[in-house]
Amino acid sequence: MGIRPDLGMGELAQREEARFFCVPRASGMEGLAARFHRHAYAPHTHDTFVIGTVLSGYETFLAGGQRHYLGPGQLCLLNPGVVHDGEPVEGGFVYRILYPGEDQIRSLMAEVTQGEKDISVSFDRIVVDAPDLSARFAELHGLAERGGDALLLDTGMHGLLLALLSRFGRNVPCLRAGGAEPGPVRRALDYLDASFAEPVSLSDLANAAGIARTRLIRAMRRETGMTPHAWLTDRRVRAARSLLAQGSSPASVAQECGFYDQSHLTRAFRARVGMAPGAFRASLSSKPGKAAVR
């Protein structure tokens, strides 16, 4: 069972929990959701990078020869092999951690540079104040723990890692500006159009388009005004609208159109149509002369 992000400090003090999980489609990346009131880590290292944020409370730890304090709105960024410990400040803390491997970061840098290999990047500081990225990280961590929408998770994780490395990285190459790529974008849209009801990963979509993931995200945003996930969600809503107009139930429509569940359909549908799926279906089946809400 995951740790609830809305835990109050009174609840925080009552018990400790920790849960590891594998991030879907992330080549073995692990995640940790934990709540500690008394536990103190012995000095240790990781073979991977460590990216984490605290949702409530405070953690203190030694790393790089200095004592650090990590609280809400901040991020911990540890490079592989850095010795560190960790313990709660009075009152305990709730935190979220992801452990991206060096191979994953190298692959990401190869995409950014369009082919350059053996680029060794690292983070240039250990604790950073970044409320925007901390919030994005916590949201993606929750999505990964739940095993949510594949393309949303892939695209979000890809973008978050690039943002963290661009802002707090050392030896990070600049993103190369790309020109128009209508062919790859058209292939990507055709793939999404044919596969919208199925789980779609960013890697699958990039393979169908014939370009790297980073180039695809930028090309689709430039030529369609949407990210791959936003376009896929819109395609699913269009299909849902058609099925609802034929009288299908929202629950069956959610399943047929690739939504995670009915509430996922409802949020996406309302944002694009202006009303809930059930209300939309009812408005189209209203008696002649009865006003339909649009």
* Residue-range domains of the chain with CATH: 9-170 (2.60.120.10), 182-230 (1.10.10.60), 235-284 (1.10.10.60)
pLDDT at residue number 26: 65
| Position 180 pLDDT exceeds 70 | no
pTM: 0.73
Looking at residue 250, its amino acid is: P
Q: Which carries the bigger pLDDT value, residue 110 or residue 82?
A: 82
Contact yes or no for 248/256 (Cβ under 8 A): yes
- In the chain, pLDDT over 90 holds for what percent of residues? 53
pLDDT digits (tens, 9 = 90+) for 76-106: 999 999 999 999 998 899 999 999 999 888 8
pLDDT digits (tens, 9 = 90+) for 30-78: 999 999 999 999 999 999 999 999 999 999 999 989 999 999 999 999 9
pLDDT digits (tens, 9 = 90+) for 141-151: 999 998 878 88
| Position 291 pLDDT exceeds 70 | no
| Position 294 pLDDT exceeds 80 | no
| Position 112 pLDDT exceeds 80 | no
Contact yes or no for 94/7 (Cβ under 8 A): yes
pLDDT at residue number 29: 87
pLDDT at residue number 114: 67
Residue whose C-alpha is closest to residue 49's, from 181, 170, 136: 170
Query: Residue 179 — pLDDT band, cuts 50, 70, 90?
Result: low
pLDDT at residue number 166: 87
Query: Residue 174 — pLDDT band, cuts 50, 70, 90?
Result: low
Query: Residue 181 — pLDDT band, cuts 50, 70, 90?
Result: confident
Contacts of 78 (CB under 8 A, 6+ apart): 46, 49, 50, 51, 63, 84, 123, 126
Burial of 49 (0-12, 13-18, 19+ CB in 10 A): buried
What is the average pLDDT value for the chain, to the nearest integer?
85
Distances (CA, A) of 181 to 123, 171, 215, 219: 32, 28, 9, 6
pLDDT digits (tens, 9 = 90+) for 230-283: 899 999 999 999 999 899 999 999 999 999 899 999 999 998 888 899 998 988
| Position 289 pLDDT exceeds 50 | no
